[in-house]
Structure 1
């Protein structure tokens, strides 16, 4: 036992002597557990600790962790959430006890945006996740493949420097934030999709779609924490927007896949294949 912040709590090592089912139960079950849970600040009925997040949740969580320790349990609506705010606690969860915490609760918005979900970052732990992770590590992100994209990174970096130089030569204001975002998008598009989507009307639509997609991933969905209020999203337009963006992303990706199927990759071009080419080969 260690003393900290005027209360006692077991060491992280002893606290994490849990089975896989125990760990998932602590995170996902809304029922009270008889286990020795981490300390928790006082909560209100129905909303739990939502009122303590404030307008800057990261600062609020830091303040709470200073009071209650590097691991604490908060209640967001009906969902208990384990907060780890130290390197030691994060290492225990993500490395030492990784199998116990591999499964994760699914938010309804990512589930609809990622087709079920089928994305490796959101899909539940299991056979599908293991296969998807294996493809990512062995096919998409192995060292040889990453090095093969170095030419793309160099080309886009040179274009960025040229844009900055041209703007300075013409005495124009340089928006570095916009340039860095554009360069990042261009690199990712060339690596993953085979070409850039930044010019003309097509480029504008793609940027708008991408911004809406990323924005929805960060939206607070009250139905995930208070199921009895899920009906609110039918009236505030959130459900309609999610369905619209999901349909547009699906249409866009179908077009990209068809474009790649019509273009065959020669053996000499194997090293320059993008992610879609590689996934189509894996599918075969």
Structure 2
């Protein structure tokens, strides 16, 4: 097993047995816990020191614990039940109104609004999708992030050649988000 953050490419192990796979995860857990550096991580705000790109260590464990104990704990979810019920009632009301007007509704967009509003109100006491096009902008942003993320992951697997194939499209998509 190689530490994936130290090399320009990934080394892969193919395991065909569940018991051997479990043993590998147990004995090499730190190798799997390390987050790889991408070709553009220095261009991101704070140099890629956020939760998803932070190296496994004290900071990462602290942030994970904070998220699980404060934001997503059973006690916090129970405290947020009223928020969840209000947002669900609003979601259903909007659905009924659209049905009365015989409008076609994109449930994917509406469920994204519901999820965004619940999470934003639980975390920051504000709604993030009340404006008409804001949910669509968030949805497009998530699609772009997913696309860029998968391309950089694949590009990292190709080593230095990955930058040649993927850098122009990744750089083009990142510039508007990072304000570069």
Between the aligned partners of 1:179 and 1:85, the Cα distance in structure 2 is: 41
For the 8 Å contact 1:117–1:123, the answer to whether it is kept is yes
Q: What corresponds to 1:136 in structure 2?
A: 67
For the 8 Å contact 1:94–1:101, the answer to whether it is kept is yes
Judging changes above 3 Å, is the alpha-carbon distance between structure 1 residues 230 and 27 closer, same or farther for their aligned structure 2 residues? Answer: closer
Task: Indicate whether 1:159 and 2:93 are aligned.
Answer: no
- Structure 1 unaligned segments of length 5 or more: list them: 1-22, 31-76, 249-284
Higher RCO structure (Cα 8 Å, ≥6 apart): 2
In proportion to residue count, which structure has more helix? Answer: 2
Cα deviation for residue 230 of structure 1 reads 1.8
Q: What corresponds to 2:160 in structure 1?
A: 227
In proportion to residue count, which structure has more strand? Answer: 1
SS at match of 2:112: helix
Cα deviation for residue 80 of structure 1 reads 1.6
Pick the aligned partner of 1:183 from 114, 123, 145: 114
Larger Rg over CA atoms: 1
For the 8 Å contact 1:29–1:80, the answer to whether it is kept is no
Pick the aligned partner of 1:145 from 59, 62, 76: 76
For the 8 Å contact 1:93–1:101, the answer to whether it is kept is no
Between the aligned partners of 1:179 and 1:86, the Cα distance in structure 2 is: 42
TM-score, with normalisation over the residues of structure 2?
0.71
For the 8 Å contact 1:213–1:245, the answer to whether it is kept is no
For the 8 Å contact 2:35–2:52, the answer to whether it is kept is no
For the 8 Å contact 1:103–1:125, the answer to whether it is kept is yes
The 5-angstrom pairing of residues 42-191 of structure 1 reads: 78-83=9-14, 91-92=22-23, 98-109=29-40, 112-113=43-44, 115-191=46-122
Q: What corresponds to 1:239 in structure 2?
A: 171
For the 8 Å contact 1:28–1:80, the answer to whether it is kept is no
For the 8 Å contact 1:29–1:79, the answer to whether it is kept is no
Q: What corresponds to 2:149 in structure 1?
A: 217
For the 8 Å contact 2:117–2:127, the answer to whether it is kept is yes
Q: How many residues align?
A: 178
